[in-house]
Amino acid sequence: MSELKRDIGLWRGIALNMIDMVGIGPFITIPLILAAMGGGRGMLAWVLGGLLAISDGLVTAELSGSMPRAGGSYVFLREAYGKYGRLVSFLFLFQILFSAPLSMASGCIGFAAYLQRLVPWAGEHQQLTAMAICIVTVLLLLRRIETIGKFSILLWIGVLATLAIVIGAGLPHLKLEAFAFWSAPRVDGKLAYAGLGVALIYSVYDYLGYYNICYLGDEVRDPEKTIPRVIVISILAIGAIYLVMNACIISVLPMQQAMTSQSVVGDYVATLMGPRAAKWISILILWTAFASIFSLMLGYSRILFAAARDRNFFSVFGKLHATEAYPIVSLLFLGAMATVFCWIPLKHVLQAILSIRAVIPFMAQIVGAVVLRQREPERPRPFRMWLYPLPAIVAVGLWLFIVISPEKGLKVGGLYVMAAGLLFYAARGYLLQRGQRVRSNP
């Protein structure tokens, strides 16, 4: 059988993580966040989202440094929870069947929405456009990781160019008071921080992806050191970029326009540089969105592969291409599911992603990291989370706020997925035991 190849170094890893984190997210959620917070106080959601990302990222960096294998969180949960590890990791795997294609679909839907500015036909046939993007992404990923790593650098350059133009155009107009969210007036007349829960849901969505490199653990060179560095560097870089970019947009656009715009960055660039420049920046935003979809599908396909190889999922998902060494069945399955989910409205897709993932893996992984520290204090940890256990406490606290806030991120659908996973795990265990008894008593 072909084996995964270790062809991803530090810079390729950072490229994959950053293009996954940026994507279409900030370009479609800025108006949603500002509207939820009634104006400039929305900057608080970006600050808290960044705090959650770096806190949870430090936990993930420690786990990935000690267990740098394909599958990422699947491996972490399996090891951290001891005799319950296979159950918890299976629940993570089960929700990936839904949350991973939903994440990919969100990027494809956002891509189609921004394409409307250049091609009106795309707005009239948004679902078909999104489906086409899914199919193209799968076709590009059907190749070995070395080629993909080189392509990711090219995509990363496009992402950085997009952000550089957006920020560079606005820097001469930047007002420092845009950062002072605590003194920003609310234009909707609501209480000071009403709507923070829903705003945080959208901002956290924009930071998701900092863990993507973990899913490629068997394809990273010197993974014990490289993966933690990739996580920390990409989060800090993206956090700084988001804050400055939002401050620039707030400084330039009238608040009512920024809160209701269907193409906020396009309107922002059009105000500063004219409509032709807005069209060019829309092209770069589409480049960024595609890069994120590409990175997402690459990382998630490795989870199903790792679980199948571990015999905790259907063995067919562990199949590698005979010559190019990529998980062909996992890629095709995720691509097909994402294509179907492209028919769901974007707002529902964003809420569903966090509804399904808030408890497993995020909160479960943080608790698991602390449990593992207590149970195996001598386990090698090439990277140890800074200021332990403060990052774990902050991350759990913020995830709990998202789950139980008035605009809670844990919807009934997320509970249904977990319940279905439990039932599926129990049924699978029963059938396996029954099969073993039949074989032992012919």
How far from 427 is each of 81, 242, 318, CA to CA, in Å? 21, 45, 21
Q: For residues 118 and 108, what is the distance between their CA atoms, to the nearest angstrom?
A: 16
Res. 2 pLDDT band, cuts 50 70 90: very low
Q: Note whether 90 and 312 are within 8 A (CB).
A: yes
Residue type, 348: H
256-260: Cβ within 8 A, 24+ apart:
256/187, 258/30, 258/31, 258/34, 259/31, 259/34, 259/35, 259/39, 259/187, 260/31, 260/35
Stronger pLDDT, 379 or 143, i.e. the higher one: 379
43 pLDDT higher than 90 = yes
Q: Report the percentage of the chain scoring pLDDT > 90.
A: 29
| pLDDT tens-place string over residues 182-197 | 999 998 888 888 888 8
The first and second tokens of residue 8, run together, are: 């991803």
Confidence label for 1 from pLDDT (cuts 50, 70 and 90): very low
* Lowest model confidence (mean pLDDT) among 63-72, 83-92, 200-209, 288-297: 288-297
User: pLDDT-derived band of residue 24, with 50, 70 and 90 as boundaries?
Assistant: confident
Reply yes or no on whether the pLDDT at 129 is more than 70.
yes
3-state helix, strand and coil shares in percent for the chain, rounded to the nearest 5: 80, 0, 20
Give pLDDT tens digits for 226-259. Answer: 989 999 999 999 999 999 999 999 999 999 999 9
Top-confidence residue, 413 or 205: 205
Whether the per-residue pLDDT at 83 is higher than 90: the answer is no
- Output the average pLDDT for the chain: 84
Per-residue pLDDT, 150: 65
Asked if pLDDT for residue 168 goes beyond 70, the answer is yes
Q: Is 211 exposed, middle or buried (0-12, 13-18, 19+ CB in 10 A)?
A: buried
pLDDT, position 348: 77
pLDDT of 346 over the 80 cut: no
What is the reported pLDDT for 177? 92
Count of residues making up the chain? 442
**In the predicted model, what is the mean pLDDT of residues 246-273?**
91
**How does DSSP classify residue 104?**
H
Higher local confidence (pLDDT), 259 or 287: 259
- The pLDDT of 373-393, averaged and rounded, is 91
Q: What was the pLDDT predicted at 148?
A: 58
- Highest mean pLDDT range out of 275-279, 317-321, 323-327? 275-279
Phi, psi angles (nearest 5°) of residue 70: -55, 135
Reference 320, options 334, 312, 332, 311; nearest CA is 332
pLDDT at residue 408 is higher than 80: no
Q: Return the closest-CA partner of residue 232 out of 373, 53, 66, 414.
A: 53
Task: Say whether pLDDT at 121 is over 90.
Answer: no
The residue ranges of every structural domain in the chain are 10-437
Residue 411: pLDDT band (50, 70, 90) is low
Q: Which of 53-57, 136-140, 375-379 is predicted with the least confidence, judged by mean pLDDT?
A: 136-140
Query: Cα separation of 59 and 326, whole Å?
Result: 28
What is the three-state SS of 127-185?
Answer: HHHHHHHHHHHHHHHCCCHHHHHHHHHHHHHHHHHHHHHHHHHHHHHCCHHHHCHHHCC
**Top-confidence residue, 405 or 46:** 46
pTM of the model: 0.83
Q: What band does 339 get if pLDDT is binned at 50, 70 and 90?
A: very high
What pLDDT does 53 receive?
94
Closest of 363, 299, 309 to residue 55, by C-alpha? 363
* pLDDT over 90 at 297, yes or no: no
Q: pLDDT category, 441, cuts 50, 70, 90? A: low
For domain 10-437, say whether CATH 2.60.40.10 is its number: no
Residue 107 has pLDDT above 80, yes or no: yes
Segment among 93-107, 304-318, 348-362, 401-415 with least mean pLDDT:
401-415
Q: What's the average model confidence in pLDDT over 25-37? A: 89
